[in-house]
């Protein structure tokens, strides 16, 4: 026990003497919060729409007015020739083309039906899908309006407004994307500190040769491992606290669940991540190798973690692979605790899985760590 | 009293035999030196002695403890100074020493008497980061750290390489003092003159021990007459010596060439005449006492692998 304390003391001395360390601990979360949370948004605002209005009637202008009034769309151009719109899309200036044919109003009045066309740039499928959704909902709203206006059917009667959908969004009532992102960014922060810094720290001892001297001492394997990993467990938890404070102050994210549960979960998750860092350090001989190995794992884990995209929509095989993705567990847990206010009874299965994973990972890494060269 | 007993150690890395059939013993309190060129297997041997690597064959006991089976106990008794500086460059002199004392469950105060002579020289810099010390001071700190837990066996891998001449002399004085405290010291060095300071030396080459003897005995057993040959053009001198029929061996030693004749019947005037015939100005040939380096050169020439000088 005393030996572990001495190793800890030495580690903290070295960590805080490292001039890069404090910036990493405090600037990293700030920048990630400000950039990732603000920039990486799935909310569609300012979709560029080009209007081809060949009808130029009251009704068609009213429809265009609806799009102009919507916060999601910005009208970039208007013309009566489709080729103008097409060339604008080719230049990347337009996301959606709204094509209103001539005789739009006339047909609507005479035949009670008319068509309009949307041409959507689907290079980014998600943007295209969501953009179409917005456009379709504006159109159907407009549709209801004119039907009731022209047919003079009293409100409430069948035909005018058959079924009206009133939705309420739980856990994020304003559909604020930041509320979705902040917990995930917190999880990424904890992951980076845990996996990268711990692995690098041990490999550094190999690189500068101090490990050779340490290995000849009576320090036991477990003492070395605990002494090496505990500082980063503590730093990562401090980081989580700091990030959470930033999230509250900057984005006013809800903290619905218990903070104690959040930090407890984070500590368990860190067992997995630190174990991974240690495992990487047993494989790598230089810090460069360690960075590349960690980077490889992290990219896969983070991309499949549900940071930006929903994990539920992944193909079956990917869902099965994701059972091994610790980042996915943690992002899910942080969101559940912070946004939904989940208690231990709601999440104990995930927490237990993480704990088992952590113990397995740490045991494997400790077993692989050799006190010989 | 035997401190280290090594029998038939072998260790290979892929196709390279780093060590082959290495056997030796070191007595308690002996200052035992390993001499040999780079790549002769000294570091591999030291890593086996210090339980860092496992030999492929053979057995080693240090202080009656098997390096394979009883390594845990052995590690508390060993002091090891690797060839590469391996203290924490981002900790200060004092913090390094304190750390190594504490992980051996001791304190600087408790064993201060052991390291006092060395440590007083670096104590004025005790708040300096170890990475910022000069080469000689680094080695003194490393020795202090290796000594702070009062080891019974001290293994030093080329402790004086890259250290200035004055510090080297001081360093060896310290080793002598430690030896007088009863510590068994195993040291390797590429410097031949340091070999003379050991109780016994082992000459190593190509992973084998060629000879083990006290340095004076190594010199005494040197069977040939040795001459120092000087001329103004050293390069041409070596070339001409190789054509001289009486030449047994000729190795450049700084400004002069150490020359051994083939037959005992040789006398210096023969060579002087030869050199004068070959247009050398003021040739000088006189008999000298062999040093350990001469013996090493001779042993190397005798070894079957020595034909390929590029291996050295």
First to last CA, chain A: 25
CATH superfamily, domain B2-214, is P-loop containing nucleotide triphosphate hydrolases (3.40.50.300)
Residue A29 has pLDDT above 80, yes or no: yes
Predicted pLDDT of residue A30 = 85
B85 to chain A nearest CA, in Å? 7
Grade residue A97 by pLDDT with cuts at 50, 70 and 90: very high
Select the more confidently predicted residue: A202 or A309: A202
The closest alpha carbon to B308, from B41, B39, B33, belongs to B39
Neighboring chain A residues of B86 at a CB cutoff of 8 Å: 208-213
| Any A CB within 8 A of B119 CB | no
Q: With an 8 Å Cβ cutoff, are B103 and A213 in contact?
A: no
The three-class DSSP label of residue A91 is coil
Cβ-proximal residues to A10 (8 Å cutoff; 6+ apart), any chain:
A227, B88, B91, B95, B99
Exposure letters A47-56 (e unless 16+ CB within 10 A, then b): bbbbbbbbbe
Question: What Cα–Cα distance (Å) separates residue A330 from each residue in A19, A271, A288, A320?
Answer: 30, 12, 27, 16
Q: With an 8 Å Cβ cutoff, are A218 and B80 in contact?
A: no
Q: What is the CATH number of domain A47-160?
A: 3.40.1710.10
The three-class DSSP label of residue B12 is strand
| Any B CB within 8 A of A16 CB | no
Residue A357 has pLDDT above 80, yes or no: yes
Grade residue A110 by pLDDT with cuts at 50, 70 and 90: confident
Exposure letters B67-93 (e unless 16+ CB within 10 A, then b): beeebeebbebbbbbbbebbbbbbbbb
Residue A369 has pLDDT above 50, yes or no: yes
Predicted pLDDT of residue B223 = 63
- d(CA A353, CA A324) in angstroms, rounded, equals 10
What is the mean predicted confidence (pLDDT) over A163-186?
Answer: 77
A272 to chain B nearest CA, in Å? 28
| Any B CB within 8 A of A373 CB | yes
| Any B CB within 8 A of A372 CB | yes
CB nearest to A218's CB, from B50, B90, B104 = B104
What is the mean predicted confidence (pLDDT) over A136-147?
Answer: 84
Q: Are strands A47-53 and A96-100 parallel, antiparallel or unpaired?
A: parallel
- Helix residue ranges, H only, B59-213: 71-75, 93-103, 112-122, 135-147, 165-180, 192-195
- d(CA A211, CA B82) in angstroms, rounded, equals 10
A contact test, residue of B48, B49, B82 with most A CBs within 10 A = B82
CATH topology of domain B227-289: Alpha-Beta Plaits (3.30.70)
Q: How confident is the model over A215-249, as pLDDT tens digits?
A: 888 888 889 999 999 999 999 999 999 999 999 99
Annotate A9-30 with DSSP letters as a single string: HHHHHHHHHSTTHHHHHHHHHH
Mean pLDDT comparison of A19-28, A30-39, B84-93, B210-219, highest-scoring range: B84-93
Exposure letters A6-25 (e unless 16+ CB within 10 A, then b): bbbbbbebbbeeeeeeeebb
Which range, of A36-50, A184-198, B198-212, averages the lowest pLDDT?
A: A36-50
A249 to chain B nearest CA, in Å? 37
Neighboring chain A residues of B52 at a CB cutoff of 8 Å: 212, 215-216, 372-373
Predicted pLDDT of residue A156 = 53
The closest alpha carbon to B149, from A242, A218, A194, belongs to A218
Those residues of chain B that have pLDDT short of 70 are 222-224, 301-312
Grade residue A134 by pLDDT with cuts at 50, 70 and 90: confident
Predicted pLDDT of residue A175 = 67
Predicted pLDDT of residue A162 = 60
Predicted pLDDT of residue B310 = 39
Q: And the tokens for B297?
A: 């050169």
| Any A CB within 8 A of B152 CB | no
Neighboring chain A residues of B145 at a CB cutoff of 8 Å: 213
Cα dihedral B142→B148→B152→B157 (10° resolution): 0
Predicted pLDDT of residue B85 = 85
| Any A CB within 8 A of B286 CB | no
Residue A104 has pLDDT above 80, yes or no: yes
Predicted pLDDT of residue A361 = 92
Q: And the tokens for A119?
A: 């041409």
Q: And the tokens for B240?
A: 């001409």
């Amino acid at each position: 026990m005393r030996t572990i304390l001495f190793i800890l003391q030495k580690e903290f001395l070295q960590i805080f003497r490292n001039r890069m360390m404090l910036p990493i601990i405090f600037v990293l979360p700030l920048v990630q919060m400000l950039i990732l949370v603000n920039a990486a948004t799935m909310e569609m605002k300012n979709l560029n729409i080009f209007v081809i209005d060949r009808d130029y009637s009251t009704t068609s202008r009213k429809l265009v007015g609806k799009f102009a009034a919507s916060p999601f769309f910005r009208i970039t151009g208007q013309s009566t020739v489709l080729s103008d719109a097409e060339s604008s899309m080719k230049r990347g200036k337009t996301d959606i083309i709204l094509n209103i044919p001539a005789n739009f109003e006339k047909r609507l009045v005479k035949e009670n039906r008319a068509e309009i066309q949307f041409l959507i740039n689907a290079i980014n499928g998600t943007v295209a899908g969501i953009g179409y959704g917005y456009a379709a909902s504006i159109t159907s709203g407009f549709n209801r309006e004119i039907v009731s206006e022209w047919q003079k059917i009293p409100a409430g009667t069948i035909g005018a407004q058959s079924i009206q959908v009133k939705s309420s969004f739980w856990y994020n009532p304003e559909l604020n994307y930041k509320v979705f992102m902040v917990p995930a960014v917190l999880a990424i922060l904890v992951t980076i500190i845990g996996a990268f810094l711990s692995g690098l720290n041990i490999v550094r001892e190999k690189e500068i040769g101090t490990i050779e001297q340490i290995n000849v001492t009576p320090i036991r394997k477990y003492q070395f491992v605990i002494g090496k990993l505990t500082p980063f467990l503590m730093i990562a938890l401090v980081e989580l606290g700091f990030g959470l404070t930033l999230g509250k102050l900057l984005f006013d994210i809800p903290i619905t669940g218990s903070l104690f549960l959040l930090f407890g979960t984070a500590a368990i998750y860190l067992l997995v991540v630190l174990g991974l860092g240690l495992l990487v350090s047993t494989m790598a001989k230089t810090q460069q190798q360690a960075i590349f190995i960690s980077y490889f794992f992290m990219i896969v884990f983070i991309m499949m973690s549900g940071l930006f995209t929903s994990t539920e929509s992944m193909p079956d095989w990917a869902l099965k692979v994701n059972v091994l993705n610790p980042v996915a567990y943690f992002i899910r847990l942080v969101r559940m605790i912070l946004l939904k206010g989940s208690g231990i009874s709601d999440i104990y299965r995930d927490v237990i899985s993480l704990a088992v994973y952590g113990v397995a990972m740490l045991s494997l890494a400790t077993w692989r760590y050799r006190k010989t060269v | 009293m035997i401190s280290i007993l090594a029998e038939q150690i072998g260790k290979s890395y892929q196709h390279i035999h780093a060590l082959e059939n290495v056997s030796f013993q070191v007595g308690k309190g002996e200052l035992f030196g390993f001499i040999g060129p780079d790549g002769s297997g000294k570091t591999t041997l030291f890593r086996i002695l210090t339980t860092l690597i496992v030999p492929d064959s053979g057995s080693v006991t240090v202080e009656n403890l098997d390096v394979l089976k009883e390594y845990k106990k052995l590690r508390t008794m060993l002091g090891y100074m690797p060839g590469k500086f391996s203290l924490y460059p981002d900790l200060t002199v004092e913090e390094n020493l304190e750390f190594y004392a504490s992980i051996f469950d001791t304190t600087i105060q408790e064993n201060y008497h052991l390291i006092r002579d060395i440590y007083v020289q670096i104590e004025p810099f005790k708040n300096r980061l170890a990475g910022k010390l000069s080469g000689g001071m680094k080695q003194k700190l490393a020795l202090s750290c290796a000594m702070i837990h009062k080891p019974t066996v001290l293994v030093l891998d080329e402790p004086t390489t890259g250290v200035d001449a004055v510090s080297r002399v001081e360093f060896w004085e310290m080793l002598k003092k430690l030896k007088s405290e009863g510590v068994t010291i195993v040291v390797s060095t590429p410097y031949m003159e340091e070999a003379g300071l050991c109780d016994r030396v082992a000459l190593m080459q190509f992973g084998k021990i060629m000879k083990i003897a006290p340095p004076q005995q190594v010199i005494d057993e040197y069977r040939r007459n040795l001459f120092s040959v000087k001329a103004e053009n050293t390069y041409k001198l070596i070339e001409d010596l190789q054509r001289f029929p009486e030449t047994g061996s000729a190795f450049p030693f700084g400004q002069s060439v150490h020359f051994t004749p083939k037959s005992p019947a040789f006398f210096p005037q023969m060579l002087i005449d030869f050199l004068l015939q070959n247009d050398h100005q003021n040739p000088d040939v006189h008999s000298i006492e062999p040093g350990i380096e001469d013996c090493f050169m001779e042993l190397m020439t005798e070894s079957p692998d020595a034909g390929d000088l590029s291996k050295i």
